[in-house]
Amino acid sequence: MSLRDCELDVATLLQAAGVGSLAGPTPTLYAGPYPASAPDAMTSCRHSGAEKPEKYLANTGLAKHTESVTVLVRGTREPNAYTESGTRARAAWSALYDLHPPEYETVDLEDGGPTYLRDDEEQRPLWSFTVGLEYLSATAPGVVVPLSRDATLQVGGLSVTGQATLDGLLVLASMPFASFPAPGGYRGALAFDTDAGLLRVSTGSEWLAIGAPPPIPTAAEVLVTPAGELASNNVQDALEELQSDVSGRATAAELAAKADASALASHTSASTAHGVTGAVVGTTGVQTLSGKKHSGLFEVVDVPVGAVALRIPAGAYLAFDAAGTRYLHVSSNIIRSNTAFAAPSVTAGQGLGNESGAFAVDGSSNFVVTRNGRIRRLTGDTTATAGNATSNTWKGRAKVAAGQNAVTITNNLCLASSDVFAHVQQPTADANGSRVVRTTAAVGSLTIYLDTPPAADLVVAWELRD
């Protein structure tokens, strides 16, 4: 019979878990009593009792041992020593919970957690908990395991009839085959080979594999429950059924060919409705929809700045209602008109009821409908910077720089024959009393003149009329 050094085994388990070290000139882990030179923060494992060995499995020659080890955790003299030492005690407790190392049947805790004992004579907090350990040992080498004459002990593919002889401890462990000990001292011992997935028994000269791993099932042997549109009840048939469905679908090359508008000739009938779920994404070139009626939201998104989002051929127009009024609703963007719409003239100020945010076209440019339903000309504001500026709108605001008596607005709507109206537009008068005295118009620009250069930047409002 061979007894184990349970103190050392528990300390070794704690070291493996990173709770202290048994090595070095000043260890922080001790198996048994610790010296006076031990550091304040340390852990000691002391044997605290053992039960009488039990005869394990009648007449097998094996003994079962149950022993206990008390783990003592000591802290430092620092102000936070209680909290720090309690944290280490709980870490040690957790590291020893429900373990099954190869040498033991079980290593487990007997307490629900570490217990604070007291501060020692040097004001160092002490914590404690107890660990229970169970293991087997052979009562003597060459133990005979008798069986009845007709009884058979069968493990996997190995059958032993009559009796089996154990030269040492019966080992039930899992490890890679390279880590197995030499078979000579373990005749009759069992161990699980994690590399091959096999149970092995020592014959004294080799570790003999018992049985073989179950064969890997074929796809046809793996059963599945039919679901959805698949009717097959095994993986192989389901794969073949799926491949048959895929083979009947269009190939990538066939789908690519359908991207050409000429391949959609069967879908050009204006009388045929075609439902599309999700986004319609164009590839290259112009995407043409001929003779089609669109119901619901039509949205053009992700168009780069300066690119054409929607093109209306010359002579055509967009009609919002059945009465033929030519305007287009927009949610937040202002759409600039051009002569390609060729729609009848709409008088500025004409009411359009509650059609707020609509866009009205007059064949020339720059009319929008305000929130109250009235048509207004677009306004430009260049007051962010004093001095000459560019604003291609029918009216706007500009800023004459201090000390200057004029400001020029570059405007592609302005003609030499255009009328330009302007006036000072700010809450307080200029210190020099500057006023607008005249304006001039030229092809592509207009100029506003003051009678006296202003003492500070001066805001003026202007409007261009044909």
List, for residues 72-89, the tens digit of each pLDDT value.
Answer: 999 999 999 999 999 999
Q: Is residue 404 over pLDDT 60?
A: yes
Tokens of 250: 């269009």
User: Is pLDDT larger for residue 293 or for residue 418?
Assistant: 418
What pLDDT, on the 0 to 100 scale, is given for residue 302?
A: 66
**Average of pLDDT values for 262-279?**
47
Rounded CA gap, 328 and 293, in Å?
A: 16
Rounded CA gap, 287 and 289, in Å?
A: 7
| Residue 369: closest CA among 391, 378, 321, 324 | 378
- Mark out the alpha helices in 213-264 (DSSP H runs): 235-247, 252-257
> Which residues 6+ apart lie within 8 Å of 12 measured at CB?
22, 31
User: Is pLDDT larger for residue 161 or for residue 424?
Assistant: 424
Q: What percent of the chain has pLDDT over 70?
A: 63
What pLDDT, on the 0 to 100 scale, is given for residue 433?
A: 78
What pLDDT, on the 0 to 100 scale, is given for residue 76?
A: 95
Strand partners, 378: none
Strand partners, 70: 46, 130
pLDDT digits (tens, 9 = 90+) for 124-137: 999 999 999 998 87
Q: Which DSSP symbol is given to 89?
A: H
Q: Is residue 432 over pLDDT 60?
A: yes
pLDDT digits (tens, 9 = 90+) for 154-193: 333 344 433 344 444 455 557 888 888 888 767 777 888 8
Tokens of 435: 């006023």
Ordered by where they begin, the domains of the chain are: 6-138 (3.30.2000.10), 143-208 (no CATH), 312-377 (no CATH), 380-465 (no CATH)
At residue 234, φ and ψ (nearest 5 deg) are: -145, 160
**At 140, is the pLDDT very low, low, confident or very high (cuts 50, 70, 90)?**
low
Q: Is residue 202 over pLDDT 90?
A: no
Query: Which own/partner pairs from 82-89 qualify as long-range (CB within 8 Å, at least 24 positions apart)?
Result: 82/116, 82/125, 84/41, 85/41, 85/124, 85/125, 85/126, 85/127, 86/114, 86/116, 86/125, 86/127, 88/19, 88/41, 88/43, 88/127, 89/114, 89/127, 89/129
What pLDDT, on the 0 to 100 scale, is given for residue 51?
A: 93
Rounded CA gap, 124 and 42, in Å?
A: 11
- Mark out the alpha helices in 232-376 (DSSP H runs): 235-247, 252-257
The pTM score is: 0.35
Q: Is residue 316 over pLDDT 80?
A: no
Q: Is residue 416 over pLDDT 90?
A: yes
Rounded CA gap, 219 and 147, in Å?
A: 44
Count the neighbouring beta carbons within 10 Å of the beta carbon of residue 246.
9
Are 40 and 34 contacting, i.e. CB atoms less than 8 angstroms apart? Answer: no
Q: What percent of the chain has pLDDT over 90?
A: 40
Rounded CA gap, 419 and 135, in Å?
A: 109
